[in-house]
Structure formats: C-alpha cells, structure tokens
Chain A
Amino acid sequence: MKDPHPGSGTSPSLRNLQILEVLARAGRPLTATEINADLGLPKPTIHRLVAHLEQEGYLSRQLDGRSYLPGHKLRRMMLGVMHAAQFDLARHDVLVRLFESVGETCSISIPDGDSLVYVDRVETHWPLRLVIALGTRVPLHATAAGKACLAFMNPGSLEHYLRHAKLHPIPSGRCPAPPPCSRRSCASASRAMPPTTRS
C-alpha cells in the first residue's frame, strides 16, 4: 500500500513534512538526492526545500557538507510529540481492555463532516480479519460507527445529511450491502443508548 513516490501527486504543502519523514525513516544522514529518491521532486525543488529547512533549523548539515540530519528544531518537536503520546496512552488503554473482553478488532474513530476517520485500533489475532489503515476515511451511512454517529446527530444536521448525502452501496465482497440508514433507524438507535452513557 506504500506509495513509492509520495512526493508526486500530493499537495505541495506536505513536501517539507515528507522530507522530514524520509530522513526520520532512514535513521542516518542523507543527501538531498537520496531524500529525493523517495519523493521524486524536480532537482531544483528538492535542493531549495532542503536548504530552507536547514536555514530554519529543521535540518542540520553533516560534516561532509552534503548530507543532512534532523536539526535541533526537529529534535525538539519529536520530544514534544513523544510527550503528547501519553494522552494517547489512556485512550489506547481503553481499547486494549475492550479488546481483551471481546477478542475481535476494536477501533476508535472520530466523525469529520460526512465521514469518519479511524484514529486507533487493536487488531484481532485471527488470520481472517478486515484491516482498515488508521487515517482511512469511511462514509457514515455504510459503517456501524457511522450509523451510531448519525443516530446522535442533532436533528438539523441529520436532516441536511439525509437530504444531501450520496448513499452509494459499498461493495464488500460476498457480504450483502448494509441496510441504508433512515430517520427512523437513527431515532431507534439513539433510543437504545442507556441514559448512563448519554450524559
């Protein structure tokens, strides 16, 4: 699933991040040309971007004068990122405990507009399983989480969604298409929620 040329065809605003990503993955000093082997940007572009990142302290030049390492700003950022991970830990812990009780893949997703984004998951150990990469967006109308989300949407937004959403069936191999959501199914799902978890 890995794109061999993440730099081509992606937004220019992500290019600097991709440079840092390549460098972080390599774990050794890389020249601009080596970094670009993954990104496939025009030569003048990669040299300009790398020089700018060095100037701003995100990259530092090695003694050989040609290759780059993460700079002091990037290292500081990394420490901040690792520190923030402790907030993820509590969230992940909830997921792990649920998984221990259910024994099947458990995931956390967050609603974003008319879709859901998967943010964390604990995979089942069974060889037969459906794997959806973190960060994947799925439509509200064709997933369990999406339907639960619709059930708790405020009436105005739900009305708007039902009027404008494109409720395409999602092909899922031999499984029959899930029943489409409706005002009635949304209302009955939200009533099924016990009052303790509602407040």
Chain B
Amino acid sequence: MVAASVPALDGRGRVLALLTFHAPIQRMSMQAMMSHLPALRRAAAELAELV
C-alpha cells in the first residue's frame, strides 16, 4: 500500500482537513505516488478555500 496525504490549512496554519489518496503498491509505485503530489497539493489548497 502507498498513501499520500496533504492537509488543508486555515489562515493560521491549523489543519482543517486532510486530503489523501491510497493504492496497492502493485498498482502504484512510490515514485508514481510522488508524481501525483502537485495535484494533491492543488486539491488541498482548493479545499482550504472552501472553508
């Protein structure tokens, strides 16, 4: 299993929520997981803006 998680933070840097994806290692290598980090960070920033 690989999993990556990025927090959506409020203006004061406190964690509002966590955005995560996970996959079996058979389907997603660690390297492939890292390649999705920019998308994950973007989504977390969008999530933070909704609050």
Which listed segment binds B: A3-11, A40-48, A53-61, A189-197?
A189-197
Within the complex, the shortest CB–CB distance from B10 to chain A, in Å, comes to 10
Taking a contact as CB atoms closer than 8 A, the residue among B18, B36, B46 that contacts A111 in the complex is B18
Question: How far apart are A170's CB and chain B's nearest CB, in angstroms?
Answer: 11
List of A residues within 8 angstroms of B1 by Cβ: 130, 172, 175
Closest to B40 in A: A98
* A98, A101, A110: the one within 8 Å of B17 (CB): A110
Q: Assuming A119-B17, A194-B41, is B7 touching A152 (CB within 8 A)? A: yes
Q: Can you list 27 A-B pairs, Cβ within 8 angstroms, ordered by A?
A: A94-B19, A95-B19, A97-B43, A98-B43, A101-B36, A104-B22, A105-B22, A106-B21, A106-B43, A107-B22, A109-B20, A110-B17, A111-B17, A128-B24, A143-B20, A145-B5, A145-B20, A147-B5, A148-B7, A148-B15, A148-B18, A151-B7, A152-B9, A152-B15, A193-B7, A197-B6, A199-B11
Interface size grouping (class) on chain A: 35 or more
B46 and A94 contact, CB distance less than 8 A: yes
Contact flags A121-155 to B (C-beta < 8 A → 1, else 0): 00010101110000000000001111111011110
Q: Are B47 and A109 in contact (CB under 8 A)?
A: no
The prevalent SS among residues of A at the interface is mixed
Most chain-B CB neighbours within 10 Å: which of A147, A175, A193, A197?
A197
Asked if A90 and B41 make an inter-chain contact with CB atoms under 8 angstroms apart, the answer reads: no
Residues of A within 8 A of B19 (CB): 94-95, 98, 106-108
Q: Chain A nearest CB: distance from B19 CB in Å? A: 6
A124-B23, A148-B7, A149-B7 given; name 12 further pairs at CB < 8 Å. A91-B50, A104-B28, A105-B23, A107-B19, A109-B18, A116-B18, A144-B22, A148-B18, A152-B7, A197-B44, A198-B9, A199-B13
A144 touches B39 (CB 8 A): no
Inside 8 A of A149's CB, which chain B residues have their CB?
A: 7, 15, 18
B18 contacts across to A, CB distance below 8 A: 108-111, 116, 145-146, 148-149
Q: In this assembly, does A102 line the interface, its C-beta being within 8 Å of a C-beta of chain B? A: yes
| Contact present for B20 and A198 (CB under 8 Å) | no
